[in-house]
Structure formats: structure tokens, C-alpha cells
Amino acid sequence: MSIVLEAPPAAVTEYAKAPLALLIDGQWREGSSGRTRDVLDPTTGEVLAAVPTADRSDVDAAIAAAARAFPRWRDLPVDERTRILMKAAAIMRERADAIARIATIEEGKTFAEMRGEVLRCAKALEWDAQDAKRAYGRIIPIDNDTELTVRHEPVGPVGALVPWNFPVGSPNRKIAGAISAGCSLVLKASDETPATAVALVACYQDAGLPDGVLNLVFGHSAEIAEQFVRDERIRLIAFTGSIPNGKDLAAKAGAEMKPMILELGGHAPVIVCEDADPKLAARRTAAAKYANAGQVCTSPSRILVHRSIYREFLDELVKASAEVKVGFGLDEGVTMGPLANERRLVAMERLVADAVARGARVEIGGKRIGTRGYFFEPTVLSDVPLDADIMREEPFGPVAPVVAFDDLEEALAIANALPYGLAAYGFTEKAATADRLIRGLEAGILSINHCGGSVPEAPSGGVKQSGIGREGGQEGLEAYLVVKRVSHKLR
């Protein structure tokens, strides 16, 4: 693998021009307390900027703004709402390069990945905005003097909390779905990628979104989440994050009978069957594994390969890993950037050490790169025992553990043994085996013969402890709507 670790000074200078502020009721402003948090450069570990943090009064002001704006936005004709949102999507496309550069600097993902993320978000917004026109109800025949209808209406102001790993995609999923459905929103974006969130929200503001419909805050996630739960003006909470945090939030929201959309962690199995093409499977698995340095909830992270093709698959996976070019994400040809923070770096070192201590072999990688920033080598571990930590907890990094199996039922049992159920992948050339994988794998997102990601047209979400509800597709819009039955006596 080739390595380039220095971020050009011009890039950091460019980032310094990105404004950092809260957006409350259409006004960009500092936090009331004056408190800030440092934003660190994952390429160097040095401070990039300081993001203002919201205190309780700021969050209350944002909620109040969303509550005031909701009736006006809800009652605006859907064609007018769609016109504004389609303009926001067009602005997003125009600014794709600029947003991607900001996001690459503060999150670490390569420019090509980030630009693709921005463009997918524009497409998703267009889909949601147009799909809102088809949020139909229905008329139910009952008798001659009663009109019985079912109506779908926006749930109300939404409180949303998102992580750092998809700094455009995660917040935009919440914004596009909620606002297209006719809701208003208070977004708590990650303090680690704030300039990206500001640049994204600015696209909506500059498109003419009415004041208060979309509000942006930064600060302590647990405190803001608690405020969302307790405030009766917030009618639904949308959260993307870890399983422990999601379960804690769900328990608190449940006590208030407040609905939630939860996209939580995953530990996606890959089952490579004996009739699969091992080299093709290895290449496609590697491409997904090292996207965003493995910091993806749906990243393939438990790779189960039939023993008859195990060595051939492993050799090709090692070869693909060796071809990864690690470096600063804005540099030409770089295919994997740094991890986003020191927490992930420490976790990778711990997981690799544990696996090796239990008998796994390091086929390639396994170490931190350099002493500046948060770079880690693309890593393949072979013959990993099932009781290794990396086989039981989500790695969220560029480490691929590979295990051999002899029987498909055995592989399915291993794949389904954990409480995770977000994504799963299978490789086979036989239709009957593909059907067995489809029926047997317990996951909300399943791909056969590839490791595809989310698309705007279809729902994404998990089963078991990986989440509740769906984002994307018709189901994603429906998550922000409530059903009202109306019985109207005509005479």
C-alpha cells in the first residue's frame, strides 16, 4: 500500500473560511453561553476550528422556532414545498465540490467519496420532495350517508440527532424526509463535523425555506436528546448512532410515549458460498470494507468463506488491501483517508491485539501508520476465532476478519448469532442458494453478489437491536406521517 499523510496547508486555510454557527429561526448565531468545542483535523490531530455549543436556552429557542414554523409549513401547498426543496437540491449539486472539500478535511473521507455522498443527498432530496406529492390517503365505502376517509398528515416538529461518519448523508436523511413530509426540524449535528452540517443546511436556507422550519444546533448530545424527549413540542425523535445510546434514548422516549426512528449499529456478515467467484467476491468486499476507512454501519465486518475457496478468496482480499492508497483525502489517487478520531484508532489497535492473542493471523496491515493524525493500515485477519472481540462487537474501522466455514447452515447460524441486524451480504452463483441466503439472513438490508449501499428509492433500516423504523423510499416518508381516520356523516 502507498501512503501520503500530509494535508496541504492550502486545504486547512480553505477550511478556516467555513463559517461555524447555530441556526435558530432563520438566524445564524453564536451559542448563548459562549462555550465552544475544538474541531480536530483527523489528518494531523491538530485543532482546525472551534464550534459554538448550544445551551438549554438555545435548544429551547430552536424548538420554539420549529413549533411556530410547523403549521405554516404543513399548510403550504405541496407544490410550493416541493419547489423550494427541488431548488435546495439544485444548490446542493452546484456546491458539491465545495461541500465535499470541507467534509474531507474535517471527517477524513476521500474527496471522491464525499462528492458522491453530496450528489446522492441531492438525489434523495429530489426523491422525497416528489414522493410527498404521492402521500395519498383513501376513501373507504361504508354507506350512502357517511364518508369514511384515511388521511396522512405530518407528525409535527422533529428532533434529530446524527453522528459524524456520514456528515452530509446522515443529517440530510433526516432533513429531507421530515421536511418533505411537511414537518419542521431541530437538527443536532455532530460537533466533529460541524462545517459540513452548516454548508448542508445553508443549501436549504438559500433555497428559500421559511425561517424556523430547519434549525441547527451543536452541543452535548445526551443533554439535547433529553431535552427533545421532555419537550412536548417535539413530536418525534430521529436518531442515528450506537446501540447503547439508542436503547437509552428509546427507554426515555417510551416513558413519554414519543415515537422514534432509530438507525443503530451493525456488524454485517458476508457469506461467500462454495459456488461463488472468490476473486470477484473478495474485490467487492474490499471496496465496501475500506470505504470511509470502514467507518460505516453497514460495512462488511464478519467475512465467512466456504473452506473450499477460502485461500483463494483470502489471497485476493490481501491483494486488494495492498492496493489501497492511504493518505489525505483531497490528494489525487488516495482511496482511503484517516480514521475520524483517536477513539477509533485505539479501538482498532485493541481489536487486532485481542484477535491475535486468541490465535488469528495478520495477513496484511494491523498497525497504526505514522504518529500524526489517525491513520491505520488496511488490515486482513485470517482464522479469527468466533470468541474474539472483533467477531462480537462492531469494529467501525478498516479491519477485515475472515473465517472459514464448511456448511451454509453453519454460516447462517454464525451470521445470525449476534443481536445486530442492519446489513448482510452473500455471494453465490446459484438461484436456490441466493434464495436460502435471502430467507435465512436476519437483516433489514441485504445484498447478493455485491455490497451495495443505500438508495433513495428504497428503505434502509435494521431489525433486532439495529434499529426501529426506516429511512428512504416510501417507507422513509411515511415515518414522518401520522394516520388519521375521518368519519363524516353527510346527512
**Cα distance between residue 53 and residue 189, in whole Å:** 11
pLDDT score recorded for residue 440: 98
Give the chain's count of helices (H) and strands (E): 15, 22
Of the residues 107, 297, 316, 442, which is catalytic?
A: 297
pLDDT score recorded for residue 142: 87
pLDDT score recorded for residue 6: 55
**Cα distance between residue 208 and residue 448, in whole Å:** 42
Contact in structure between 25 and 65 (CB atoms under 8 Å): yes
The full set of domains in the chain, from first to last, is 2-264+465-486 (3.40.605.10), 268-461 (3.40.309.10)
199's enclosing H/E stretch is helix 194-206
Of the residues 192, 263, 363, 471, which is catalytic?
A: 263
Strand partners, 380: 364, 400
Amino acid making up residue 75: D
pLDDT score recorded for residue 7: 52
Low-confidence stretches of the chain (pLDDT beneath 50): 2
User: Read out DSSP for 352-401?
Assistant: HHHHHHTT-EEEE--SB-SSSS--B--EEEES--TTSGGGTS---SSEEE
pLDDT digits 0-9 by tens, 362-405: 999 999 999 999 999 999 999 999 999 999 999 999 999 999 99
First to last CA, the chain: 78
pLDDT score recorded for residue 144: 82
**Cα distance between residue 103 and residue 66, in whole Å:** 27
Whether 263 sits among the annotated catalytic residues: the reply is: yes
Enter the pTM of the model.
0.94
Whether 273 sits among the annotated catalytic residues: the reply is: no
pLDDT score recorded for residue 491: 77
pLDDT score recorded for residue 143: 86
Interhelix angle 78-94/169-180, nearest 10 degrees: 160
pLDDT score recorded for residue 454: 86
Phi/psi at 216 (nearest 5 deg)?
A: -125, 130
**Cα distance between residue 286 and residue 104, in whole Å:** 21
pLDDT score recorded for residue 338: 97
Amino acid making up residue 14: E
Amino acid making up residue 63: I
